[in-house]
Amino acid sequence: MDSPAMSRHVGPLRSSFSLDLFVVTRRTVLILFAVLTFWIGSADSSAHADIITFNGGADDSAEQEQTIDAEILVEAADGGVLARCDAGRLWTIQPDMIVQRTKQPAGPPIDQETMARRMLDELPKGFQVYRTANYLLLHQGNEAYARDCGVLFEQLHRGFFTYWKNQHVDLEEPRYPLVALVLANHNEFLKYASQEIGDTAKSVIGYYHLESNRMTTFRVPNLERNIATIIHEATHQLAYNCGLQTRFADNPMWVSEGLAMFFESPDFSNPRGWRGIGRVNAVNLGRFRRYLSSRPDDSLATLLSDDSRFRSVSTAEDAYGESWALTYFLLKTQRKEFVSYLQKLSESKPLDERTPRERIEDFESSMDMTLEQLDRKFITYMRRVRN
């Protein structure tokens, strides 16, 4: 993605890099749960939760004891669990961390007010709460900026749900309060974000965290120049909270990033900088056009079969450009088939993993054509697309 321009403003930066970080997180969890005994699946009215007390809190301190009301998503043979607490956070708990575990009926997710109280207890002193209809923003006294972010989030929320309704996709209302942290400045952001994403914090202005289910950003000097990045991360959060995608499932990265880029396209003729959904993304169209001259015949196959192109500096830019182009093409010309494919992916369970061949077969069966046939249509169409 774009490089930082720190002299006048921060960003737009590599907003998509954060998801790549949590692809690594998911792979780490897969290793921890290499042998699974059974699946609990998604929560429903008959689901059961456990009260789990374990060593290791949100900061991974071995000395900190934590108690959570958790729905068990996956249980490994050795007793380790992937659990989702009533605030929506995912916890990977190894058996030697568990102090006590008591079964009980699953309770409802917490409401916005309870989430606000918990967040204020968890965060350092000085944070304040700003609420919108669908979002809970925690900020460090910069309420006007938090309000501007809240307006963007609500605009995206309306547009996102309206768009998918028009595609005859029934999205779920988010089960958990949608939380965003808005830090006061870049230094405060680095202090907080480095605990969650390490050195990656130095190269982004915002990210969505798969485990905590929160967005985090900071007050950038020029919001209008960074709207695409903020919308990108907010799109990830919505997709994982409305049933379109499942956290820690085998979500092809081209789908996750392609959708976020499809929704992020800024409109600089609009005073707010962002208005439309599905506009031509000029940055990624340029990337894809530059890639076309050297694009190999198996490019689509490598994009779909695994996520390795996103993890290499030499191929990541081309992968992002092609992901946007493919998503744009499918939603403009193969909408019904692509929606069917997305619905199939949404049924994936946490830690489930497809082989490269299975990924391609899932795609081909949904599109009702071979990869080679679709690739020809894709390239022909995208050569005609203009800004």
Q: What is the pLDDT of residue 20?
A: 42
Which has more pLDDT, 224 or 114?
A: 114
Taking residues 303-309, report their average pLDDT: 97
**DSSP per-residue letters across 43-75:** --TT-EEEEEEEE--TT--TT-EEEEEEEEEEE
Q: Of 150-154, 226-230, 266-270, 303-307, which range is least confident? A: 266-270
Structure tokens, 33: 């749960």
Q: What is the pLDDT of residue 179?
A: 99
Q: What is the pLDDT of residue 270?
A: 62
Q: What is the pLDDT of residue 3?
A: 30
3-state secondary structure of 190: helix
Which has more pLDDT, 36 or 110?
A: 110
Taking residues 149-177, report their average pLDDT: 94
Answer yes or no: is pLDDT of 185 > 90. Answer: yes
Answer yes or no: is pLDDT of 39 > 60. Answer: no
Question: Does the 109-244 domain belong in CATH 3.40.30.160?
Answer: yes
**DSSP per-residue letters across 72-91:** EEEEETTS-EEEEETTS-EE
Confidence (pTM): 0.86
3-state secondary structure of 160: helix
For the stretch 93-121, pLDDT in tens is: 999 999 999 988 777 899 999 999 999 99
| Phi, psi dihedrals of residue 264, rounded to the nearest 5° | -85, -15
Q: Do the beta carbons of residue 49 and residue 71 sit within 8 Å? A: yes
CA distances from 171 to 87, 160, 183, 290, 324 (A): 20, 10, 30, 36, 22
Q: Of 45-49, 95-99, 176-180, 292-296, which range is least confident? A: 45-49
Q: Do the beta carbons of residue 283 and residue 291 sit within 8 Å? A: no
Answer yes or no: is pLDDT of 176 > 90. Answer: yes
For the stretch 329-350, pLDDT in tens is: 999 999 999 999 999 999 999 9
Residue spans of alpha helices (H) in 89-139:
112-122
